[in-house]
Chain A
């Protein structure tokens, strides 16, 4: 995205030249709008479509692109619109997106099928700087849709397992019916210390497991703050509660990483929609070290 300095000077010269050409009124080559900015999406094939729940699904795109866990794409369908979606995988072969149907675009995406196409641009933003955390214990706290970007983190850790010590997962779902990444949970359970919670039992079922918020699991847990790094992603109220609990456990602000969600249009730090007190969530985030963005809840 930033490699365009050259393009700029080049085209400045070109346009000056153009002017002279214009004076002599000879035909000139039209300037081509270049795509560095990434305003124009690319067509990407869906190589797998998986329904996770009645309103959640995961798309796998044939897209070989380098990215960090936590970065996001602007995904959409021309004529309907686009919206920001976190990359929930970590691979140089494909990109996975896990989406909840809440509105126009997300519902339209939900109607697609394997073999179909989406239009996407990205990756955007700053993800989790994983190489900084080598040698640390990692605690991952996710709620609902917020588990999607964390799946990328978990896949990164799986690929670089020796770089990290203990990995604790705390994942909260609304109910057993709302579980996304059910298959992956089974394998995570074997590799990491996995804790799953459900806010409530499903309406019509004979589920008799434990019920409670993920925050309660963390409150009861016995870990301390030594060599630990915490990633939290979920609804603001959940992130706030978790941060408060961590503060009681003597965690420092710079041990905590949060994700902010804002309305986004451009993804490139221009349109202004995602700004929080001068910080662009799309460009400076969406992942922030907590001390960089203490005010994530407010305007």
Chain B
């Protein structure tokens, strides 16, 4: 069963959720200083900005930039008690919903990451559908996105069509049913297609690993790691021990984001660096996004959001680089596992 939320009650709906105690409402908000859109706690309805997707991804809410794993006092280890506040995320685009799903996969594969899932379980994801690509960097139509949401909002002019995607979503809606009306309207898959967003033309990029174009394209890379930081799917991390300056025996171990575009990402004892040149590091990122993850889980890690291109200071367009590689003369040396 689908629901309708009239635009004239939309602000009432948002304001009523904002007033609820014990729940945070997180939505895209445009910064007044630099026009950058970012997910943050919504204070008033007028701050909500649905014009464009957020510049920064949502991942930092679940996969924290700095997560305290435990604290230590000499020989004693204590795990901080975490009680995440329930959070409603509103206005999440299809690409980002998929990226969150990929991180769910990564953090539950083999063993289950408690720190990540505490936050995930406290969250309800409400999507906002794009009918058109946002700019030329988007290529979500090429990477086979799936439906992953608790609720999905489709903008239909003077109302939102709302689809339920999970029990959590249904429960959330039921609590606020006074704003919604039942409807029999359904959007066909064809109507939901995001137009002009299949810019990446290659289905399988494996044969192009040794292609000469990589080097030319990657020569511009500054190694700034913006691509890693902005990517909603990238999930690599490292541990750091932060000690108290007054007592070096006390401190905490922290999990931080790390970036495969940095040399020391693969450095081992003896100062040996496995991916010492930029091209290999760049390719490692692309191939993890578009091949390795797929081999394991049957879907791409990359959700085609385009942030890594949009946010790159030299605008290295890996989609363009891949598109320009000709199938006829590939260097067929497939990377061996």
Please give the distance in Å from B314's CB to the nearest CB on chain A: 22
Contact A80/B241 with A263-B267, A283-B110 known, Cβ cut-off 8 Å: yes
Q: Which of A32, A272, A293 contacts B260 (CB 8 A)?
A: A272
Q: Which one of B106, B117, B238 contacts A265 once the chains associate, using CB atoms below 8 Å?
A: B238
* A299: Cβ under 8 A from any B Cβ: yes
Minimal beta-carbon separation of A150 from chain B (angstroms): 19
A54 adjacent to chain B (CB < 8 Å): no
Interface code B304-337, partner A: CB below 8 Å = 1, 0 otherwise?
0000000000000000000000000000000111
Complex: how many Å from CA A51 to CA B79? 34
Contact check, B269 vs A102: say whether CB atoms are below 8 A apart: yes
Give A8 to B70 CA distance when docked, in angstroms: 21
Binds A, one of B94-102, B127-135, B247-255: B247-255
B281 to nearest A CB, angstroms? 8
Interface of chain A residues 1 through 56 with chain B (CB within 8 A): 1-2, 4, 7-8, 11-12, 15-16, 18-19, 22-23, 25, 30-41, 43
Chain B residue at minimum C-beta to C-beta distance from A261? B268
Q: Which residue of B lies closest to A23 (CB)?
A: B22
Q: Does residue A278 face the partner (Cβ distance < 8 Å to B)?
A: yes
Known: A103-B269, A275-B292. Is A270-B237 also a contact (CB below 8 A)? Answer: yes
The residue in chain B whose Cβ has the minimal distance to the Cβ of A13 is: B121
User: Is A292 positioned at the interface, with any CB of B under 8 Å from its CB?
Assistant: yes
Residue of A nearest to B247 (CB): A79
Partner of A22, one of B22, B80, B117, B288: B22
> What bracket does the count of chain B residues touching chain A fall in?
35 or more
Residues of chain A within 8 A (CB-CB) of B113 are 37, 39, 270
Chain B 59-90: CB-based contact to A (< 8 A → 1; otherwise 0): 00000000001101001010111110010000
Question: Considering residues A23, A269, A270, which has the most beta carbons from chain B within 10 angstroms of its beta carbon?
Answer: A270
Residues of A within 8 A of B82 (CB): 31, 33
A268 in contact with B72 (CB, 8 Å): no
Contact A33 to B114, CB < 8 A, known contacts A15-B121, A78-B72:
yes
Which A residues, 94 to 150, have Cβ-Cβ distances below 8 Å to chain B? 102-103, 117, 119
Known: A32-B81, A79-B248. A38 touches B111 (CB 8 A): yes
Q: Chain B at the A interface: mostly helix, strand, loop or mixed?
A: mixed
**Interface band, chain A:** 35 or more
Instruction: Check B110–A269 contact: CB distance below 8 A.
Output: yes
Which of B112, B265, B292 is A278 in contact with, Cβ under 8 Å?
A: B292
* Chain B min CB distance to A24 (Å): 10
Which one, B80, B115, B238, contacts A271 given CB within 8 A? B238
Q: Which of A167-189 contact B (CB under 8 A)?
A: none
- Find out whether the CB atom of A278 lies under 8 angstroms from the CB atom of B115: no
A271 to B121, Cβ gap below 8 A?
A: no
Q: Taking the nearest CB of chain A, how far is it from the CB of B229, in angstroms?
A: 14
Contact A22-B106, Cβ < 8 Å, known A43-B77, A81-B239, A273-B258: no
Given contacts A11-B121, A33-B82, contact A25 B22 (CB under 8 A): yes
Asked whether A43 lies within 8 Å of B75 as measured between CB atoms, the reply is yes
Considering only CB atoms, which chain A residue lies closest to B23 in the complex?
A22
Contact of B77 with A273 in the complex, beta carbons under 8 Å: no
Q: Could you tell me the distance in whole angstroms from the C-beta of A17 to the nearest C-beta in chain B? A: 11
A33: nearest residue on chain B (CB-CB)?
B114
Q: Known contacts being A271-B237, A272-B235, A277-B287, is A1 close to B337, with CB within 8 Å?
A: no
| Contact of A299 with B21 at beta-carbon distance under 8 Å, contacts A31-B83, A78-B72, A79-B241 already known | no
* Nearest CB on B from A271, distance (A): 5
Q: Does A256 contact B (CB under 8 A)?
A: no
Pair A31/B118 contact, Cβ less than 8 Å: yes
Residue of B nearest to A1 (CB): B111
Instruction: Judge whether A40 and B77 touch: CB under 8 Å.
Output: yes
Chain B, residue nearest A264 (CB): B268
Whether the Cβ atoms of B336 and A277 lie closer than 8 Å is yes
Whether B293 sits at the interface, judged by CB under 8 Å, is: yes
Inter-chain contact B241/A81, CB cutoff 8 Å: yes
B237 in contact with A265 (CB, 8 Å): yes
Tell me the minimal C-beta distance from A244 to chain B in angstroms: 16
Kindly report which residue of chain A lies nearest to residue B81, judged by CB atoms.
A30
> A11 CA to B84 CA in the complex, in Å?
14
Whether A205 is near chain B, meaning CB under 8 Å from some CB there, is no
Q: Are B106 and A299 in contact (CB under 8 A)?
A: no
- Is B243 engaged at the interface, CB distance under 8 Å to the other chain? yes
Q: How far is the CB of B114 from chain A (nearest CB, A)?
A: 5
- The answer to whether the Cβ of A262 comes within 8 Å of any Cβ in the partner chain is yes
Q: B265 near A273 (CB under 8 angstroms)?
A: yes
Q: What residues of chain B lie closer than 8 Å to A19, measured between beta carbons?
A: 86, 122
> Within 8 Å CB of A7, what residues of B?
112
Asked if B190 is at the interface of the complex by the 8 Å CB criterion, the answer is: no
B274 contacts A15, C-beta separation under 8 Å: no
* With known contacts A31-B83, A40-B77, A81-B239, A8–B115 Cβ distance under 8 A: no
The answer to whether the Cβ of A295 comes within 8 Å of any Cβ in the partner chain is yes
14 new A-B pairs (CB below 8 Å) besides A269-B109, A293-B337? Answer: A8-B112, A16-B171, A36-B111, A37-B114, A40-B70, A40-B79, A78-B72, A269-B110, A270-B237, A271-B238, A275-B292, A277-B292, A294-B337, A298-B274
Of the A-B pairs whose beta carbons lie under 8 Å apart in the complex, a sample of 12, sorted by A's number, is: A30-B81, A33-B79, A33-B118, A39-B115, A79-B72, A102-B269, A265-B258, A271-B238, A271-B258, A277-B336, A278-B287, A293-B337
